[in-house]
Every structure is written in structure tokens, then in C-alpha cells.
Amino acid sequence: MSRISTASTIAIAAFMMMPVAAHAEGSLAIFNWGDYISEEMVKKFEAKYDVKVTVDTYDSNETMLAKLKSGITGYDLAVPGDYMVEILIKEGLIEKVEPNTFENYKNLEPQWADVYWDQGRHYSVPWVWGTTSFTVSTKVYKGDVDTLGVMFNPPDELKGRINLLRDVNDVINAALRYLGLPRCNENPDDLKKVQALLTELKPSVKSFAYESKELAESGEVDLAQIWNGKAYLARKGRADLQYSYPKEGYTGWMDNLVVIKGAPNLENAKLFMNFLMDPENAAMMTNFTGYANGVLGSEKFVDPDLAKAHEYRPPEGAPKPEFVKVCNEKVIKLYDRLWTNFLK
Amino acid sequence: MALLARKEPRSLISFRGFGTVTGLCLFILYVPMLVLVVFSFNANRAVTVWGGFSLQWYAKAAYNGGLQNAAWNSLVVAVIATTVATAIATAAALATGRGQRFRGSQAFYMLVNLPLMLPEIIIAVGTLSFFALLGMKLSLLTIIIAHTVFCIPFAYLPIRSRLETMDARLEEAASDLYASPLDAYRHVTMPLLMPGIISGAMLAFVVSLDDFIITAMVAGAGSGTLPVYVYTQLKQGVTPEINAISTVLLAVSIVLVAASYFVAKAGSKHVRPATEQP
């Protein structure tokens, strides 16, 4: 590289940095899912600490993992799903910042302190959490919605009116629950039963897609496997939809805020983590995403319509959501084969 | 035998079913875009249910801070990458088209165009590993470098093909008339080549503006571009805001492609193909 081009490269680089440095004392770079952060909360943080926040987005846990592994991203914070936190810790990609010593840690709902992906919260704090079940039109189907039987043994009025999430684990875990079989299952007899169940279900399924909300809301389907926050939004557009808490069980998930190894703005990242566990700030996240946070006392700041919604939190008497770990390689392969056959 | 005896080859348009096939192809190609544009004016929140005409999604898009930042990044990257790539491509085209043939010039031609033939995901992962190896922090600069590399063949091809239709004897004539190599280049080669350079630059600009896979891999803190922003929003639910942004992108692309076509066409009037020379 000649001296001139080196100089111009540096000049360009310096030009790029300038707008960031000019405004605020510090900066903070967040790597997050698309459309998954309250701008109101970000503005409040920026004003309070005089820190310029940038948000970049990814579309899957795996994309995020691939980029973090390069070790040169320059991000401070990321928002991995539960199982991904476990992987990031194992791979040594996140900082052990001990959020359990932070001032606002006292606000954490006790049930989220000893989670399988981060026992005692040495690395992460809750972002928001939700459940994966299904929503069904009570105009079309009049019976009890709180059972997986509606989905796996659909009555005639629902046949051909079903959308399943295009996700191997969400579908197979629901099938295993319906059959009363253990998760991360490699028993050939059990998997044959799952295969038989899915084969029988296949003709009744209209589509496999992530657009459950759009499909259910527009009346393209009358039963859709869906996340609770989306089910809430779908019901706003179509009042006869009811979210199910099946008696056989259903999946729970939580996204978590973590600090990336070698974060350039470590102190600001910690500040943000603590800031998120303030009830008022956590409520901003809930109001924006439609999902519950893990912070005590935030309920009074949550939009009342959302707070009392059936979808928002599992009601009394419903089984507890099940947080499913990643299965071993052998199970993943077996599931993938089953899934490919099902989609064929 | 009657067919073979014809002097003029049969025009493609006169084949039966030509109109139907053409219509079908155009329909499949353009209806999705038309639907996308129409629903960007939807008053309804759902992308599939029509609820009347509205410009609210354009207004929303215009007030979205993350979106504006992404759009600005896209523009900065496209302008710089296009400028650098076009300069390199012009030099490469002149070296391969006008310079003396050198050993491996065919290999060089293939090498320049390789990014066109490799699957993008391979380039993306390779580029990321390369930056990681150098220990270079991901930023706008890394995106610009990556874009410059894959924009070069897009800029190179129109410039090279323009150069091939230009009569080399014009430059020789300039030299005969005592023009220095630099003057011949400035007053003869460059003006004749300009339409090729401009259409190459516009093509590179559009390709840079639209790229997702490579950009998603090499973007760093605060440097996500518009396509990355749009794609990562999809999973959280599609609103017509996405349609509005996409429509704007589409309009920019169409204007640039059309402009590059007209510039190239206007320019070609001034050059007589070598075969017509007496």
C-alpha cells in the first residue's frame, strides 16, 4: 500500500468516526434483533448518561454467533435467546460482569435468578420473555382451546386451516408434549410415534410460516402456532382469536442482555444493564414489544390493556412454561430428518 | 425446404406463443413489486388486507431514527465504493484492452470477474475471516472495502465492452498529430470512454446499495445498511413501513438503471463501429 492510499484510508476512517465522537461523552453499541428495542428507553438512557447509543440488528441467534466469533465486531451488548447464552458462555464470547451485584438486581423476579442458561446470573439479565403456543378462532372452533388436541387432532372445521411455525423444535416439542414423551428424545419408538402423529396431521396443515400473526389476523388460517406477543397483536385485529395455554404444557423462552467479550465501552454496557432492570425502563420495553419483562414492580408502568391481556402472562392454574435446552447432536440430526420428511 | 430458402431469418416475434410467454414472464417478474408498491400506501397495519389509501407509512419511515441512520450508511458506502471501484475498473479495462498483451491477461480477466461467479455467502464468510485475521474492527470502512471489491467487475464489464467498440486508430491518429500520451488520453480516450464509465459506475452503485449477505457479515457497530435493517425487521412482523422503504429503494434503483441505459445509448451515437470505417 502506498503512502498516499494509507493516508486517504486513515482520512476516511477518521471521517467515519467523527459524527459519533462529536455528540456525546461516551458511546454504546447494541447488537439486537430487528425492531426489538424501545426507542423511548434508548433516548432516556442517552439523556441520563450523555452516551450515544447505536443499535444494529440481526435476524437469528446463529447469525449473531457467527459474527461474535470473528471477535472484531466492536459491539458492546447483544440480546441472545436462552439457549444461546449457554453457548456464548461455553465459547467464552461474553464477559462475566456479575449483574447480580448491580444496584437494580434487587428488582429481578426471583424465578429468573437461577435459570439453566446462567445459574445465579453472572453474565446476563432478562430482556423480555414470552411463550410459544397457538391461537385459535373461537368463532370457528367452539370447544376447549387449552389442549394440544385442538392442534394435533383437529376437528373438521379446523382441518386445512392451520399454520405451524416453520421451526423444527417448536413443532416436535409440541408433538412430544401431546404424546406425553420426554424432550430431547432419541428413543426410536418414541420418534416413530411422533412421525406417525405428524404424518396424520400433515393434510390438515395449510402452511408452515413465521407470519402467524398476519395469517391468523387476516383470516387465512383459524389456528396458528404463535408467540404470545404476536397473538396479542393478532387479537387486536381479529377479536375472536384466543391464545391457548395447553394443559399438556408449552414452551417458554427468554431473550437476555449480555456484554460481549472485549466490549469497547464496558462501563456504559454495565450502566445499560442496570438501567434495564429499573421497573419504569423495563416497562418501556414491555410496552414496545408486547412481551413481559423480568422486573418486579414494572407492572404499574405497563399499558393496562396489555397488562390484563390473556396472552401477556400464563393465568393462574395454567401449567408453567417449559424452557427447553439445546439437545445433543444425535437428537438434532434425528429431529432434522423427521422434520425434512414432514415438510416434504 | 421453404423455411431454409428464406433469405431473412425468421423474426423471434413471429413465433407462435411468443406474446403469451413474454407476458407471463413479465407478469411473474413485476407483479410482486407492483403489489409491494400498492400496499405501501395501505392505511391498514396488515400487509395483506387493504384498508384505504394513506401516506402514513412513508411518514413513519421518515421519522424512524434507526432507518435514517441505515439509509445514510447505505449512501456513504455506495458513493465511496462506487468511486473507488470505478477508478480501479477503468484502469483495469485500459490495461487489458489498450495496453500490450501480457502473459496471463486472460487469467487476469477471469480474476477481475471472479466475484460475479462465486456464491455471495462464500465471499461474505471469507471477507469476515480476512478482517478477523487482520484484527480490523468491523465498521463502515470494512463494508466499503468489501463493497469496492465486489463492485469492480460490475463497473469493469461495461467499461471494457465500451472500449472494445472504440476505434483504437483514433488514439493512434492523436499520437500521429503530436499529442502526448496524456493528451491523447485526456482529449480522445477519456471522452469516448465516459459513457461506459458512467454506466459502469451506476451499475456498481445499485449493486452496492442492494447488497445484503456480504454487508450483514462485515457490518460493525452503528454501520448497518438499509437492506440489513429491512431484512432483520421481517421476523418481528411485517408492516407497510417495510413496503414504503422498499418502494423508495426500488425507485432509486429504477432511476439509476434507466439513467445508465440512456447515458450508454446517447454515448454510442458518437462512436462509429470499427467495421464501418472506410
- Using the Cβ of A278 and the Cβ atoms of chain B, whether some distance falls under 8 Å is answered with no
Rg (CA), chain A: 22
Residues A108-129, mean pLDDT to the nearest whole number: 95
Query: Average pLDDT over chain A, rounded to whole?
Result: 90
pLDDT at A17: 45
Binding-site residues on chain B for chain A (CB distance < 8 A): 45-49, 65-66, 69, 76, 80, 125, 128-129, 131-132, 135-141, 144, 216-217, 219-224, 228-229, 231-238
- Using the Cβ of A272 and the Cβ atoms of chain B, whether some distance falls under 8 Å is answered with no
Domain count, chain A: 2
Q: Are residues A72 and A179 in the same domain?
A: no
Give the number of other CB atoms < 10 A from CB of residue B45.
19
Nearest to A118 by CA among A137, A141, A94, A149: A94
Q: Are residues A145 and A294 in the same domain?
A: no
Angle, in degrees to the nearest 10, between helices B190-210 and B226-233: 20
- Are A285 and A276 contacting, i.e. CB atoms less than 8 angstroms apart? yes
pLDDT-above-90 percentage for chain A: 79
Q: Do B235 and A210 touch (CB under 8 A)?
A: yes
Q: What is the Cα B272 distance to its own chain's centre?
A: 27
Interval A19-72: pLDDT, tens: 444 445 799 999 999 889 998 999 999 999 999 999 999 988 888 998 898 888
Q: Are residues A248 and A258 in the same domain?
A: no
Q: Do B224 and A63 touch (CB under 8 A)?
A: no
- Closest residue to B224, CB basis, from A12, A56, A237: A56
Interface test with A, best of B42, B44, B47, B48 (most A CBs within 10 A): B48
Distance from CA of A340 to the nearest CA of B (A): 22
**Is the model's pLDDT at A2 over the cut of 70?**
no
For each of the domains in chain B, give its residue range(s) and CATH number, in order of start: 64-270 (1.10.3720.10)
Pairing of β A124-137 and β A251-259: antiparallel
Q: Are residues A90 and A162 in the same domain?
A: no
A137: its cell numbers: 378462532
Q: Give CA–CA dist A66/B125, Å, rounded.
A: 9
- Closest residue in A to B133 (Cα) is A70
The residue behind cell 431484512 is: B231
Q: Are residues A233 and A268 in the same domain?
A: no
Q: Do B237 and A56 touch (CB under 8 A)?
A: no
- Are A168 and A324 contacting, i.e. CB atoms less than 8 angstroms apart? no
- Are A162 and A145 contacting, i.e. CB atoms less than 8 angstroms apart? no
Residues A120-144, mean pLDDT to the nearest whole number: 96
Interval A289-312: pLDDT, tens: 999 999 999 999 999 999 999 999
- Closest residue in A to B233 (Cα) is A34
Q: Do B220 and A74 touch (CB under 8 A)?
A: yes
In A149-187, which ranges are continuous DSSP H helix? 149-152, 168-179
Residue B237 φ/ψ region, left for φ over 0, alpha for ψ in the -120 to 50 degree band, beta for the rest = left
Interface test with A, best of B125, B141, B144, B245 (most A CBs within 10 A): B141
**What is the widest separation between alpha-carbon atoms in chain B?**
71
The DSSP code sequence of A29-83 is: EEEEETT-S-HHHHHHHHHHHTEEEEEEEES-HHHHHHHHHHS-----EE--BHH
Q: Do B220 and A210 touch (CB under 8 A)?
A: no
Nearest to A205 by CA among A158, A150, A168, A155: A158
Nearest to A222 by CA among A266, A182, A171, A163: A163
Q: Do B229 and A72 touch (CB under 8 A)?
A: no
Pairing of β A322-323 and β A114-115: unpaired
| Tens digit of each residue's pLDDT, chain B (278 residues) | 445 555 566 777 778 888 899 999 999 988 888 888 888 888 876 666 677 888 888 988 888 878 888 888 998 999 999 999 999 999 999 988 887 777 777 888 888 888 888 899 899 989 999 999 999 989 999 999 999 999 999 999 999 999 988 888 888 888 889 888 888 888 888 999 999 999 999 899 989 988 999 999 999 888 889 889 888 877 666 678 878 888 887 888 788 878 878 887 776 665 544 444 44
Q: Give CA–CA dist B237/B57, Å, rounded.
A: 15
pLDDT at A163: 95
A13 contact residues in B (CB cutoff 8 A): 139, 141
Residues A256-265, mean pLDDT to the nearest whole number: 95
Q: Are residues A221 and A77 in the same domain?
A: no
Interface test with B, best of A57, A58, A76 (most B CBs within 10 A): A57
Q: What is the Cα B121 distance to its own chain's centre?
A: 18
Contacts of B46 (CB under 8 A, 6+ apart): A214, A217, A218, A237
- C-alpha distances (whole Å) from A273 to each of A45, A269, B64 are 11, 6, 24
Q: Are residues A143 and A192 in the same domain?
A: yes
- Closest residue to B236, CB basis, from A34, A60, A72: A34
Q: Do A230 and B220 touch (CB under 8 A)?
A: no
- Closest residue to B138, CB basis, from A72, A210, A233: A72
Q: Give CA–CA dist B111/B118, Å, rounded.
A: 11
B214: its cell numbers: 456480504
Q: Are residues A185 and A267 in the same domain?
A: no
**Is the model's pLDDT at A1 over the cut of 80?**
no
Q: Give CA–CA dist B225/B209, Å, rounded.
A: 8
Q: Are residues A276 and A231 in the same domain?
A: no
Nearest to B159 by CA among B104, B198, B205, B204: B198
Distance from CA of A186 to the nearest CA of B (A): 31
- Closest residue in A to B130 (Cα) is A70
A339: its cell numbers: 422434520
Question: Would you give the DSSP letter of residue A260?
Answer: B
Q: Are residues A248 and A279 in the same domain?
A: no
Q: pTM above the 0.95 mark?
A: no
Q: Give CA–CA dist A160/A187, Å, rounded.
A: 31
Q: Do B237 and A214 touch (CB under 8 A)?
A: yes
Q: Do A214 and B139 touch (CB under 8 A)?
A: no
Interface test with B, best of A32, A72, A236 (most B CBs within 10 A): A72
Interval A212-257: pLDDT, tens: 888 898 888 999 999 999 999 899 889 999 999 999 999 999 999 9
A217 contact residues in B (CB cutoff 8 A): 46, 49
> Letter for the amino acid at A95?
E
- Are B45 and B239 contacting, i.e. CB atoms less than 8 angstroms apart? yes
- Closest residue in A to B145 (Cα) is A9
Q: Give CA–CA dist A50/A71, Å, rounded.
A: 27
**Is the model's pLDDT at A15 over the cut of 50?**
no
Q: Are residues A191 and A144 in the same domain?
A: yes
Q: Are residues A212 and A174 in the same domain?
A: yes
> Letter for the amino acid at A147?
T
ipTM of the complex: 0.72
Q: Do A233 and B237 touch (CB under 8 A)?
A: yes
Range of the domain at A208: 130-252+312-343
Residue B209 φ/ψ region, left for φ over 0, alpha for ψ in the -120 to 50 degree band, beta for the rest = alpha
A231: its cell numbers: 397473538
CATH number, domain containing residue A19: 3.40.190.10
Interface test with A, best of B136, B138, B147, B228 (most A CBs within 10 A): B138
- Using the Cβ of A230 and the Cβ atoms of chain B, whether some distance falls under 8 Å is answered with yes
